[in-house]
Amino acid sequence: MSAPAINNICFVANFNKTEFFDRIAVRLRNKGCEIFWITVNRRLHDFLRARYPEKQILLINKTYIERPAEAIEDFKLQGLVFGDRVLRHMQTEGIKYLTNIQRPLYDFIATNHIGHIFGEITWAHEILALRLANRRKELRCRYLNPATIRIPNGRFAFFADEYQSVMVEKPEDKSDSAASSVIKLEKPDYLKLNDHLLKKSRSLGARVAKTKRFFTRENIDSLDPTLIDSDWLRLRIRLREEWNKETYRFVKTCTLDKFADKPYTLVTLHKQPEASIDVLGRYYDDQFQNIFNIRRFLPADWAVLVKEHTNAIGDRACGFYRNLQKIPGIFILNERTDSHEAIRRSSLVVTVSGTVAYEAALLEKTAFTLVPTFFNRLPFCLHVTWEDFRRAGSVRELIDRAKEGDENFARYLLQNSFAGIISDPISNPACMKEENITKVSEAFFEITGNKRRNYRVIFAEAGVSV
């Protein structure tokens, strides 16, 4: 297959990240690249139209539900609808929407000879665009997801699959001094930033402002498939979240002191809905069932400590935790417990796709992920499935297998990642600084092949099937 058109680049607009992507796009345009956009929101469309020619912007909003078009192929749309936090509430219309936007997407890519698409993997239309670009070889287009590598802070990579398990690899560069460095355990910056945003959102002023926006329908585009248009549904969801937050205080939690001399498995919950569980964790997105399966696989004298994500308080009702506690050997760990200390004392860590497994492996504590991740290359970090649980004679068998891994992981990771922050001006304002925009823009320019033509994608052992 011949190389894609390296100078024609498309970005997928996504709320606040659009402004960040636009800053990158301007730099690339100044280097001679032709810039295109895909958006589902009228306000973002108007924002982009003031900066780019109309013909270089594709608006695919809910009007396509009523614009029948033949599907290009089976992209497993039902799974995309189930995993989308908005389309799951309108499944019939969601299937129509994803079916009918396939041809416009295809034609937009083909007609404009787009070689690379950069976007998130959060919404169904983003994943559909990824599958379309990466499956239809005649398009000669790649969809890449630029995202943080979590640890170390301040670095990111380009992922070629929808599970963030496949990194685009750079050509070997023996002069890269960073490639021989060691990865030191540190807590990801985004956790602290998210905690700060969460604290602000719970203030009285923030709640009043949120209530005002609800009644004024501020920023609600009724044709945007990533926004819930029904006032009644929005109200139900908001009231449920507030109720769950207020009643979480009644959940009985424990501390690590109770398990000073007892083996335990640490299981960390994901915020949900969230791409880390609904997309990366597809088919493992029922967190209650996950914990139940883990509990019945472990020895009877092992405890399972379930730790809630501080940003996720409000996602689950009290009944979720109470039902878990009815299962012998399962305890709810206080959410403020230091995660690194909980990892150090554990016998095993299990997560769907969480950073906690990465942290555990850096501490040389055994961790299982239920889906493939890029850090499964590390020793002590094993991707397992329920079939592995079924076949293994004991947990010790899998723990022994987890010790195998790439001793040169640090070199591999730093060699194939870039310095820079991928975020948006609300989540992390530092991403908009000129220094960061320069670094990130150079990385985008390089990864498209404008500076190097011999990039290659190495796929994870588990594959990237959807």
**Candidate from 39-53, 132-146, 206-220 with smallest mean pLDDT:** 206-220
- 413 pLDDT higher than 60: yes
Residues 79, 22 within the same domain = yes
Q: What is the mean pLDDT of residues 58-86?
A: 97
Q: List the one residue out of 302, 319, 310 whose CA is nearest residue 269.
A: 310
Could you list the residue range(s) of the whole structural domain that residue 430 is in? Answer: 8-184+416-457
Separation of alpha carbons 246 and 240, rounded Å: 10
Q: What is the pTM of this model?
A: 0.91
Residues 280, 173 within the same domain = no
Residues 21, 156 within the same domain = yes
Separation of alpha carbons 267 and 352, rounded Å: 9
For 26, the token pair is 């301007």
Tell me if 241 is assigned to some domain. no
Tell me if 126 is assigned to some domain. yes
At which of 388, 407, 426 does a domain end? 407
Residues 431, 371 within the same domain = no
Separation of alpha carbons 100 and 272, rounded Å: 28
- 200 pLDDT higher than 80: no
CATH of the domain at 372: 3.40.50.2000
Residues 90, 125 within the same domain = yes
At which of 375, 390, 407 does a domain end? 407
Tell me if 223 is assigned to some domain. no
Q: What is the mean pLDDT of residues 410-437?
A: 96
Residues 403, 429 within the same domain = no
pLDDT of residue 205: 72
- 458 pLDDT higher than 50: no
The single residue listed with the structure tokens 């883990």 is 294
pLDDT of residue 429: 96
Tell me if 365 is assigned to some domain. yes
Instruction: Report the share of the chain in percent with pLDDT over 90.
Output: 82
Residues 61, 115 within the same domain = yes
- 463 pLDDT higher than 80: no
The single residue listed with the structure tokens 């809910």 is 62
Could you read off the pLDDT of 260-281 as tens digits, one per residue? 999 999 999 999 999 999 999 9
pLDDT of residue 181: 72
Of how many residues is the chain composed? 466
Residues 289, 345 within the same domain = yes
Q: What is the mean pLDDT of residues 317-329?
A: 98
For 271, the token pair is 């915020």
Q: List the one residue out of 334, 314, 300, 327 whose CA is nearest residue 272.
A: 314
Residues 137, 263 within the same domain = no
Could you read off the pLDDT of 165-198 as tens digits, one per residue? 999 998 766 545 554 578 989 887 766 666 665 6
pLDDT of residue 459: 36
Tell me if 286 is assigned to some domain. yes
Confidence of residue 221 (pLDDT cuts 50, 70, 90): very high
The count of structural domains within the chain is 2
Separation of alpha carbons 84 and 77, rounded Å: 11
Residues 288, 353 within the same domain = yes
Are 426 and 379 in contact by the 8 Å Cβ rule? The answer is: no
At which of 367, 385, 407 does a domain end? 407
Tell me if 265 is assigned to some domain. yes
Residues 57, 169 within the same domain = yes
Tell me if 239 is assigned to some domain. no
Kindly report the average pLDDT of the chain as a whole number: 91
Angle at alpha carbon of residue 294, lines to 290 and 295, rounded to 5°: 115
Query: Which of 105-114, 195-204, 447-456: highest mean pLDDT?
Result: 105-114
Instruction: Report the share of the chain in percent with pLDDT over 70.
Output: 87
Tell me if 202 is assigned to some domain. no
pLDDT of residue 444: 97
pLDDT of residue 196: 61
Residues 361, 440 within the same domain = no
pLDDT of residue 461: 37
CATH of the domain at 20: 3.40.50
217, 218, 221, 226: CA torsion to nearest 10: -90
- 112 pLDDT higher than 80: yes
